[in-house]
Structure 1
Amino acid sequence: MASSQQRDHGGHSHGHHHHHDNTYLTSKNKADAGIADAFHSLTDLISDIMTLATVSFALKKPTERFPNGYGKIESMGSLGVSSLLLVGGLLMGDLSGYHALDALYAQFFLDHAEALAHAAHGHGHGHGHSHSHTDLGPNVNAAWLAAASILIKEWLYQATMKVAKERKSSVLASNAVHHRIDSLTAVVALASITGSHFLDNASWLDPVGGLLVSIMVITAGFGNTRAALTELVDVGLDDEVRGDIKEAAEKALALRQERLSLRGVGGLKSGQNLLAELTVEVPVGTTVAQTARIEEELREIVGAEVRGIRRVKVRFVEEGVAEQTEFVEKEQSLELEKHEHHDHDHEPKGGKAL
């Protein structure tokens, strides 16, 4: 788009020519968009492959070498998918942020600055402007495609997230966010297409919308990455899951009509596998055979009532007896005693150096 000015100053004239050529910027933006789209497609493919591979592998039965099962494989997959999401969001934000600032400056500040500069030379000057607008904006039919893409991608997001919540799967949740990103990107495209037909220049909508999408991607990627890392370091079960397990366990104990009570509920989350640990208080004199039957009933009912339960470990304590910790608390002091004993062995007899 070009504009020219011819100014006359009583006997002499000088011309100001302002040439706003967006050809280079447009081609550069298209190249950047093509690279971003290719990167996004690649991350989607990697995400889908990692999700399918880790979810199926995590359901394998425990072995002697892996007594807790293979759920951590899914946690590692979730870390990989969410890291791709986080890195992609940062790269997208870097690219979109630059273009958003550039577009906003050109739209709202550059023209205003030129108008002020022209006004400063306005006294006694004659101005002739010639503006050529050849950008008609995107085809309105593209809006229908963008709207259809929003509906399809949002449906995929909702369906995948529903399964992820049911199975307590973090890798499926991370994969679902990829569909939400596609949906949000289509929303930005729809806003840009629609705005181009109602605003004089709506080119700034696309980069600004991309920046907003990148912020959402970074937020989701950071949250999922943190969740995956906490799973890998054996975080305990959340309150909702513990509540479901407690309700099912108390139901099982009530069926026996004995003086049984649930003292504690704990466990770990390993991928979509839940490894529950229960502490049950039993009457004094309860035999090993009786505790075995109680444990079997607890495992059967809790496993049926709570989805994702892979293992139920039960610990029994007698009434009035304090629960003891399973951890070795004196490990550090024992190591210190060993070192002190080792040092005494190296001391010369009689206290004299040889």
Structure 2
Amino acid sequence: MTSSTQARHHGGHSHAHHHHDNTYLTSTNKKDAGVRITRIGLFVNFFMAIGKGLGGYFLNSQSLVADAFHSLTDLVSDFLTLATVSWSLKPPTARFPGGYGKIESMGSLGVSSLLLAGGIGLGWHSAEILYSQVFLDVAVAAAEHGHGHDHSHVGGIFGHSHSHNPADMGIPNVHAAWIAGGSIIVKEYLYRATMKIAKERKSSVLASNAVHHRIDSLTSIVALVAILGTHILTNVSWLDPVGGLVVSMMVIRAGYTNTGSALLELADVGVAEDIKDSVRKSATKALSEDSFASGRVTGAEVQVQDVQGVKAGQNYLMNLELAVPSDWTVKETRLIEDAVRERVGAKVRGVRRVRVRFVAKSEDTPDFTDEFIGADVSPRSSPEPEEEKDAGHDHHLEHSQDKFTSNDDVRRRH
């Protein structure tokens, strides 16, 4: 089974985000080891995001605040999946003929946009602190050099007081390192536990979830280095906001990538090539089985000419074009259609609709583009459809004829 993923890049590395396969997250089989470790990871992410956020705020660590916000990028995706899975899997209706999958796409756009805006805000705040710290150190050094290291001055060149209070200087509390260090240990444990099950089952889905935990531990390492560096080294109060800026750039890139992906999905961009290949292979396999009820119909005579589709949330809406002998009847092609639809739906996860179009075998190989109405056919001179214009013209003629007959009758009476 092949799942669609969208890469999220983090400063040279990448991992799938939001549109990864959520099989274990949405499964009702709570006794399954893969489901259990996935749910544990979800709750751990939730409490750690809150803990790092509060710790970073009260302990004056910009890098820890940014790391907490980074943890939300995966967490909100999982909660979005849980909130929309029941909607996205609803059967289509007359009002929503394509199903309800786009509801998840709309939610993804909203969440990704918030993450993008939050990442920009965090980055801007870290940059402001970094700017003030760098120029404060320069100003203080210049003032001390000019005043013989007299610390009694207030304001300095840039209006800052030269205080030895670590909080005033933007230095995080050393206890913030415990939170960052604890996050590294917990996330590394989740990585190893999830990867162990993934290897046992040869599951790419669980392996992807394990990588998520490893990436989160790496961002916590950035925060830990930034926090400890401000206490171990001298005159590096700028190191913590640098760590916050680095992590916020990761969040910005993630938000930007996911916002673009959500917009493309809402615009009905075509599905990834690996999904097309999976659908094509499953359809070809169904045709090769030759298990049809009619002796004249054989799958060997059918060719899969084109595969297209769009993604709606977790659902794939696929279109297949099959070439068959020109003398086949509708009843015979229906046998092929049912077999292909059943096989593709059973083998390719997420496929919710398979629409099949049959064309006769020929030298030409038409594709789905011929379903669109050409510019020379579409009415452009008037917004009024031709049949309505003709009907209005006929009504005008009838009215004129009635008026003419009525006037003629009046003349005869006179």
Match for residue 13 of structure 1? Answer: none
Q: How does 1:6-17 map to 2 (within 5 A)?
A: none
Count of matched residue pairs? 300
Kindly tell me: are residues 288 and 232 of structure 1, through their superposed partners in 2, closer, same or farther at Cα, counting changes over 3 Å? same
Deviations 1:235-262 (A, max 9, x none): 1112121121112222222223522111
SS at match of 1:311: strand
In structure 2, the residue matched to 1:80 is 110
Deviation sequence 1:177-231 (CA, Å, 0-9, x none)? 8x89975663343113321343113321111111111111111101101111111
2:352 partner SS:
strand
Return closer, same or farther for 1:227/1:155 CA change in 2, 3 Å cut-off.
Answer: farther
How much does 1:105 deviate? 2.5
Moved more, 77-86 or 45-54: 45-54
Alignment-derived partner of residue 5 in structure 1? none
Aligned residue for 1:8? Answer: none
Whether 2:371 is the aligned partner of 1:326: answer yes
Q: Note if 1:61 corresponds to 2:87.
A: no
Once residues 272 and 166 of structure 1 are traced to their aligned partners in structure 2, the CA distance between those partners, rounded to angstroms, is 15
Q: CA–CA distance in 2 between the matches of 1:185 and 1:263?
A: 47
Conservation of the 8 A alpha-carbon contact between 2:301 and 2:324: yes
Which stretch has the larger CA shift, 49-58 or 273-282? Answer: 49-58
Residue 265 of structure 2 is aligned to residue 231 of structure 1: yes
In structure 2, relative to structure 1, the CA distance for the partners of 1:205 and 1:48 (3 Å cut) is same
Contact 1:262 1:279 (8 Å CA) reproduced: yes
> Partners of 1:340 and 1:66 in 2: how far apart?
26
The higher radius of gyration belongs to 1
Cα distance in 1 for partners of 2:384, 2:132 equals 66
- Please say if residues 60 and 172 of structure 2, whose CA atoms lie closer than 8 Å, have aligned partners that are also in contact: no
1:200 is matched with which residue: 227, 231, 234? Answer: 234
CA distance in structure 1 between the partners assigned to 2:112 and 2:191 by the alignment: 15
Unaligned runs of 5+ in 1: 1-27, 119-126, 350-354
Cα distance, 1:283 vs structure 2: 1.5
Answer yes or no: is 1:274 the counterpart of 2:316: yes
Rate the CA distance shift 1:54–1:215 in 2: closer, same or farther, 3 A. Answer: same
Task: Determine the C-alpha separation between the residues in 1 that align with 2:268 and 2:287.
Answer: 28
Whole-Å Cα distance in 1 between the matches of residues 358 and 127 of structure 2? 59
Q: What is the alpha-carbon distance in structure 2 between the residues aligned to residue 338 and residue 261 of structure 1?
A: 41
Instruction: Identify the match of residue 110 of structure 1 among 123, 126, 139.
Output: 139
Structure 1 residues 293 and 234: CA distance shift in structure 2, 3 A: same
Partner of 1:241: 275
The residue that corresponds to 1:262 in the other structure is 304
Distance 1:253 1:151, change over 3 A: farther
Bigger shift: 148-157 or 207-216?
148-157
Q: TM-score, normalised by structure 1?
A: 0.68
Out of 282, 286, 293, which is 1:252 matched to?
286
CA RMSD of aligned residues (A): 4.4
**SS across alignment from 1:274:** strand
- The alignment partner of 1:336 has SS state of coil
Contact 2:230–2:240 (Cα < 8 Å) also in 1:
no
Does structure 2 retain, via aligned residues, the 8 Å contact 1:181–1:217?
no
Matches of residues 1-354 of structure 1 in structure 2 within 5 Å? 50-107=80-137, 109-114=138-143, 117=146, 143-153=177-187, 186-256=220-290, 257-320=299-362, 323=366, 325-330=370-375, 333-336=378-381
SS of alignment partner, residue 61 of structure 1: coil
**What SS does the corresponding residue of 1:334 show, helix, strand or coil?**
coil
Which has the higher mean CA deviation after the structures are superposed, 267-276 or 194-203? 194-203
Partners of 1:150 and 1:327 lie apart in 2 by: 54
Question: Alpha-carbon deviation of 1:327?
Answer: 2.0
Amino acid at match of 1:275: L
Cα deviation per residue 1:157-176 (whole Å; 9 max; x = unaligned)? 997xx9xx959xxxx99xx9
Unaligned runs of 5+ in 2: 1-56, 153-162, 199-203, 291-298, 401-414
Q: How far apart in 1 are the matches of 2:120 and 2:340?
A: 47
Q: Which amino acid aligns with 2:302?
A: L
**Conservation of the 8 A alpha-carbon contact between 1:51 and 1:77:** no
Secondary structure of the 2:285 match is helix
Tell me, yes or no, if the aligned pair for 2:223 and 2:244 is still in contact at 8 Å. no
Q: Is the 8 A contact 1:93 1:211 kept in 2?
A: yes
Q: Rate the CA distance shift 1:128–1:216 in 2: closer, same or farther, 3 A.
A: closer
- Compared with structure 1, are the counterparts of its residues 81 and 130 closer, same or farther at alpha carbon in structure 2 (3 Å cutoff)? closer
Q: How much has 1:340 moved relative to structure 2?
A: 11
SS in 2 for 1:276: strand
**Percent of aligned pairs with the same residue?**
45
Q: 2: distance between equivalents of 1:134 and 1:30?
A: 13
Residues 265 and 311 in structure 2, CA contact (< 8 A), matched pair in contact too:
yes
Change (3 A) 1:339 1:298: closer
Deviation at 1:52, TM superposition (A): 2.5
Structure 2 CA distance for aligned equivalents of residues 155 and 82 of structure 1? 28
